Every structure is written in C-alpha cells, then in structure tokens.
Amino acid sequence: MSENYRVMFAGLANDTQPSDAQTKLATKLNASPSKVAAFFENKPLFAPCSKDKALKQAKLLASFGIKSKLQPLNTSSSADNSNNNDDAALQRDERIFNALDYITSSLIRIEEKLDDLEQRLPTVAEQPSTIDEDDWQNDDLLLDEELNTPLKKRSNALLYSLIAMVVLLLIVLGLSFAFPDLFSFLDS
C-alpha cells in the first residue's frame, strides 16, 4: 500500500496577512471561507492523497504565502481496524451459524416427535373412519320407487304474458321516439 499524506497548516510567511491569504485561497479553490478559516485552525482542507499530490498542494499554498507541512497518515491503524472488523464479522457469522444449527436440530427433534405421535394416532383415528365407510355400503338402496317418474308440465301462460308485455312496451317506446307529439298529453 502506498502511504497517504495530508497537508496541514504550519504558519504564514512574514509579509502575508491572514485575511488576504484566506480570501485568495477561498477564491482559488472555490471553497467556503469557513472551511478555509478552519484550515488555519489546523483542520484538514484537502483529502488524504499520495505524496506527489500533497507536495503540489503545499506548493499551491506556498504561492499564497501559507506555510504547510505534510502529515503522514498511519495506514497500519486502518489495517488494524479492518482486522478488528474482520474478527467481529467472523464472530458474528459464527454466532449466526450456531443459532441456525440450534434451530435446525430443534426442528428435527420436533419432526421426530410428530412422527411418533402420528404413528400412535392413526390406529385410533382409522377405526371410526372404517366404521363410517362401512355404514353407507350397508344401507339398502330404496329401489321400491319408480326411477322414471313423468315430468309435470308447467303452464307457460306466465312466460307468454311477460313476453307480450315487453313487446307492447317496446312498441310504445318506438312510437314515442317516432312521434314525440303523440304522447304529449302525458306531459301536461
């Protein structure tokens, strides 16, 4: 891994005013004045970068009369943090696998108990069902009655009267559309 550096404020040149340097730097970098002012209070202005880029940033600051120093960032601490994160992730994964193993074994035990209960219950449950199945077969069919009974004829008078009423209403509706003045006496 390449080592990263951060440019930090070290001071001002003898002939440089802090307010002039801040305004020039803010306009050059298009940064907010508060961010530039924070840089003068030893807060980082630039993101960590390679040594070459950090040197270019320091030269830019020097052109405005700002003295700076390069601060190396400790990459080993980030590696330690990543190792700690990896260890924590491994422990979390191990706990999850243990919980899943426990759940699986519990489900297997429950299934075994259900199988045992299932083997005990069918002997009791099958006896009533066999009795019920036999009952319907023992019933005598009532074949004494005739299977071919004559159908009763219904009177179609009601049907014919309804059809006649609908046809009559359709004729009246057609006449009212054809001759609107014919039924004008109903409006008054």
- Report the pLDDT value the prediction gives residue 134, as an integer from 0 to 100: 56
Q: Can you tell me the distance from the alpha carbon of 59 to that of 36, in angstroms, rounded to the nearest whole number?
A: 16
Find tokens 């940033």 and name the residue.
57
Strand ranges in the chain using DSSP code E only, listed in sequence order: 5-12, 66-72
Q: Is the distance from CB of 61 to CB of 7 less than 8 angstroms? A: yes
Predicted pLDDT of residue 122: 56
Q: Taking the chain (188 residues) in consecutive chunks of 10 residues, what is each chunk's mean pLDDT?
A: 83 87 88 88 87 90 89 67 76 84 84 85 57 56 61 79 94 87 72
Tell me which residue of 69, 72, 59, 52 sits closest to 7, measured CA to CA: 69
pLDDT for 111 equals: 86
User: What is the per-residue pLDDT for 81?
Assistant: 63
What pLDDT is attached to residue 164?
Answer: 94
Q: Which residue has the tokens 């002997």?
A: 123
